[in-house]
Structure 1
Amino acid sequence: MSDADPTLPVAAEPVPEALPPRSEPVFNLPGSVIALAAVLAAVQAVRSLLTPELDIWTLAYFAFIPERFIAMEAIGQPYPGGFAAEVWTFVTYAFLHGDWTHLIMNGAFLLAFGAPVARRFGGLRFFVLFAVASAAGALAHLVMHFGDDTPVVGASAAVAGFMGAALRFMFVARGPMGPARWFGPEAVDAAWRVPAPPLVTVLADRRVIGFFAVWALFNVAVGFGAGALLGMGDVSVAWEAHFGGFVAGFFGFGLLDPVAPEPPRADAPVAGDDAGPT
């Protein structure tokens, strides 16, 4: 009688005992994620060396400030950069952070949700989603806080975009979160290329709904001051930007996903076959 656990998958062929154990890298992260994290850290390191005056100048040029989009006559002193800054700050604000704690928090979520997206998308599409989700987050914040003079900084909206994109494929049965992880790197690599389920299927998945509900409630609660109760201090959280980035990643996933959707099954009903009387 075998003592093996019947719930665990069994390899198709026995593995020779003479084979040495395969070593795994400690940090198995895509290069694009490492590069982005390094850039964010480098920007924060440079800012920590700036004088207060130069740091204010940096925020004026590269942070997202809703007041920037008001007519010059209304604010008296126009923001530097002109129209070009009105365009680039939709993305450049994501490279700035309030402090190292802010950066570390965003960095942790970047590693968790950016890594699976980068593995599936590849580097170029990964960075495109970073820019698109950042811009969507800035736009959502602008709609809700038009004319506000508080600078918005941080990669939170982009990270929320990676989270939304990851939810589109992370629960697929044959994906990398499924049994493939037990069968070695080749099986895992193939699992990243499994077609994502249709949007209507994902929207009906209770795991996706539950994940989003918890995340949304947390963001709204922190945005309305619950962060102080959680030891986060008296910080202003641009929660609307998080939702904007999430929406961009979740609903824009199909435009960037390099894996072709699964073709309809041959036995699937054809539209009109079971139509009722007219």
Structure 2
Amino acid sequence: MAHRHTESPLNPLPPVIIALFVVIVGVEAAFSLGARGLVGGPEAVGWRLEALQRFSFSGNILGWMIDTGQYPPEHLLRFFSYPFVHGNFTHALFAGVMLLALGKMVAEALGPARTLAILAASTFGGALAYGVLLATPVPLIGAFPPIYGLIGAFTYLLWLRLGQVGGQQVRAFSLIGILLGIQLLFGLLFGGGLDWVADLGGFASGFALTILLVPGGWQRLRDRLRQR
């Protein structure tokens, strides 16, 4: 009985999600404090700009690598480093909160190792979509492509669940539809970039990989498509 009283009513967050959150918020805190001259000395004012130059993903650099056949490690790193650089503190905080919420749900269903694989695949997939489908000099930064990868994983899991209970499986895609609609609205009202292409690439990567990671997922999807 004493053991039951000491148990937490909430499931703890997976360590991998906590670690990623700490890195995202920690990096942003260093940039924000450095810009205000509170840490790092005078050179800290340029930390964010330096990080943007070194770790953001660039479609132009991807084009250069493809054209020349050269793939330096410092440029390949950009496929996975851009989620840790954000435009400002609000951008990073919002991404961190969404990472905690979605990461917890996906990790509870699939486990931390599969969740990390989804994050890595959607980070790469988002950057690849951004670099291949767009011709823009604007670099890609921020953790939203891998977060959309978690949304893709959650969407597939919900799709399976609705199928098991006889629900309308199309409802599983309501979350991604709402989020993309909000992005479009904000873009029309306040102006916005083309980051949604990377977000959609991250979503597709997370959704596709989850099909492979869930036992029997690919077969169930094929059976469902054949029925239609």
Normalised by the size of structure 1, how large is the TM-score? 0.63
Corresponding residue number in structure 1 for 2:216: 261
CA-CA distance at 1:143 after TM superposition: 2.3
Counterparts in 2 of 1:136 and 1:111: CA distance versus 1, 3 Å: same
Residue correspondence of structure 1 range 1-278 to structure 2 within 5 A: 23-24=7-8, 28-48=12-32, 49=34, 51-71=44-64, 83-146=72-135, 148-170=136-158, 173=161, 205-222=169-186, 224-226=187-189, 228=190, 236=193, 238-257=195-214, 260-261=215-216
CA-CA distance at 1:22 after TM superposition: 6.2
The whole-number CA distance in structure 2 between the counterparts of 1:88 and 1:95 is 12
CA-CA distance at 1:130 after TM superposition: 1.1
Q: Which amino acid aligns with 1:255?
A: L
Counterparts in 2 of 1:145 and 1:115: CA distance versus 1, 3 Å: same
The whole-number CA distance in structure 1 between the counterparts of 2:4 and 2:132 is 58
Q: Which amino acid aligns with 1:225?
A: L
Over residues 126-149 of structure 1, what are the superposed CA-to-partner deviations in whole Å (9 max), with x where a residue is unaligned? Answer: 222111101111111112323x22
CA-CA distance at 1:216 after TM superposition: 2.7
Counterparts in 2 of 1:56 and 1:132: CA distance versus 1, 3 Å: same
Q: Which amino acid aligns with 1:47?
A: F
Identify the range of structure 1 (18-27 vs 105-114) with the bigger mean alpha-carbon deviation.
Answer: 18-27
- For the 8 Å contact 1:169–1:197, the answer to whether it is kept is no
Corresponding residue number in structure 2 for 1:7: none
- For the 8 Å contact 1:114–1:163, the answer to whether it is kept is no
Question: Which sections of structure 1, spanning at least 5 residues, go unmatched?
Answer: 1-15, 75-81, 174-195, 229-233, 265-278
CA-CA distance at 1:207 after TM superposition: 1.6
The whole-number CA distance in structure 2 between the counterparts of 1:19 and 1:62 is 47
Q: Which has the larger radius of gyration?
A: 1
Counterparts in 2 of 1:39 and 1:246: CA distance versus 1, 3 Å: same
Helix, strand or coil: the match of 2:82? helix
Cα RMSD, aligned residues only: 3.3
The whole-number CA distance in structure 1 between the counterparts of 2:107 and 2:6 is 24
CA-CA distance at 1:210 after TM superposition: 2.9
Q: Which amino acid aligns with 1:261?
A: G
Q: Which amino acid aligns with 1:161?
A: G
Corresponding residue number in structure 1 for 2:39: none
Q: Which amino acid aligns with 2:19?
A: A
CA-CA distance at 1:52 after TM superposition: 4.0
The whole-number CA distance in structure 1 between the counterparts of 2:4 and 2:44 is 55
